[in-house]
Amino acid sequence: MRNIRLPAHVAFIMDGNGRWAKKHFRPRGYGHKMGVQNMIKLCSHAFKLGVKIVTVYALSTENLSRPQEELDGIYDLFRSYFQKQKGKIQELGVRVNVMGDLTPLHEDVRGLLLETMRDTAVNAPNGLLNLCINYGARQEIIQAVNHAVAFGRFVDENSFKSLLYSAGMPDPDLIIRTGGEVRLSNFLLYQAAYTELYFSNKMWPEFSRRDLEKALVNYSQRDRRFGNVKKG
Ligand code: FPP
């Protein structure tokens, strides 16, 4: 992994937990549990390799219409991750930021997320971890438009960006989606204008460190022109 051009910002669409669980004759909730473990493992690995920002799609606005039982299981995973595994988050040495509309979440879960953001706001030398929770790109864009209207001002690309959840961050260089589907599913639609996309047929819980490295090598070989012509 040495001497390759690494992306500064990698985002993950962690798809396939449910199918992975089914394949192993386990309930969907077990797939999410293993999914969180893999998320921690891969985020740590990405930061260790030198990636500065990792963004994960933990729950979309559309996911909120899943059966209550599945959602309750995911909320319990949030509780366990942010409460019982506080140490692991501190160990990562990263700032945790949440992107999304937290208002419909249970109050205790919302409290834990806000507390984690506050506790990790300083002394986070290893980078930034964005958790997209009840996140949807269309909702994010509409919210930004409404803010601009409320301020009574026209926007340009820079001022509009400052109204998004990702204000102040560089766009993702690479989005990795597992689970075999080839789409963005309402994830970072504004920010992904020139993002490189990588799709894997592996289900999220089985996407390994080695698979991540393969994706990073693949990224390093791409020619990013941003609409320009090749130089030299
Ligand atoms: C996609 O798999 C996964 C989700 C909708 C939820 C992912 C959530 C987590 C891994 C929890 C994140 C937790 C923390 C602590 C941030 P799917 O259920 O859509 O899989 P399928 O397509 O195979 O059904």
Q: Which helix (H) or strand (E) holds 10?
A: strand 9-13
Residue nearest atom 3 in ligand 1 by C-alpha distance: 15
- Out of 63, 101, 186, 211, pick the active-site residue: 63
Cα separation, 64 vs 135, in Å, equals 10
Q: Quick one: pLDDT at residue 226? A: 86
Would you state the pLDDT for residue 122?
86
Q: Which amino acid is at 137?
A: A
First to last CA, the chain: 26
Alpha-carbon distance of 77 to 220, in angstroms, equals 34
Atom 14 of ligand 1, nearest CA residue: 78
DSSP assignment of 94-155 equals: EEEEEES--TTS-HHHHHHHHHHHHHTSSS-TTEEEEEEEEE-HHHHHHHHHHHHHHHT---
Residue 179 CB–ligand 1 contact under 6 Å? yes
pLDDT tens digits for range 165-221: 999 999 999 999 999 999 999 999 999 999 999 999 999 999 999 999 999 999 999
- pLDDT above 80 for 2: no
The pTM for the full model equals: 0.95
What pLDDT, on a 0 to 100 scale, did the predictor assign at position 86? 77
In this structure, is the dihedral angle defined by the CA atoms of residues 150, 159, 5 and 189, taken in order, positive or negative? Answer: positive
The answer to whether 130 and 178 are in contact (CB under 8 A) is no
Under the banding of pLDDT at 50, 70 and 90, the label for residue 88 is confident
- Ligand 1: distance of its center to the CA of 184 in Å? 15
Q: Whose CA is nearest to atom 8 of ligand 1?
A: 58
Give the model's pLDDT for residue 165: 98
Q: Which two tokens stand for residue 159?
A: 């001022």
* Distance, CA of 146 to CA of 113 (rounded, Å): 25
Of the pLDDT bands very low, low, confident and very high (cuts 50, 70, 90), residue 123 is confident
Confidence tier at 232 by pLDDT (50, 70, 90): low
What is the biggest distance separating any 2 CA atoms in the chain, rounded to whole angstroms? Answer: 57
Residue 87 confidence (pLDDT):
81
Average pLDDT for the chain? 94
139 falls in which pLDDT band (50, 70, 90)?
A: very high
Whether ligand 1 lies within 6 angstroms of the CB of 17 is answered as yes
- Predicted pLDDT at 100: 97
Structure token pair of residue 133: 């929770």
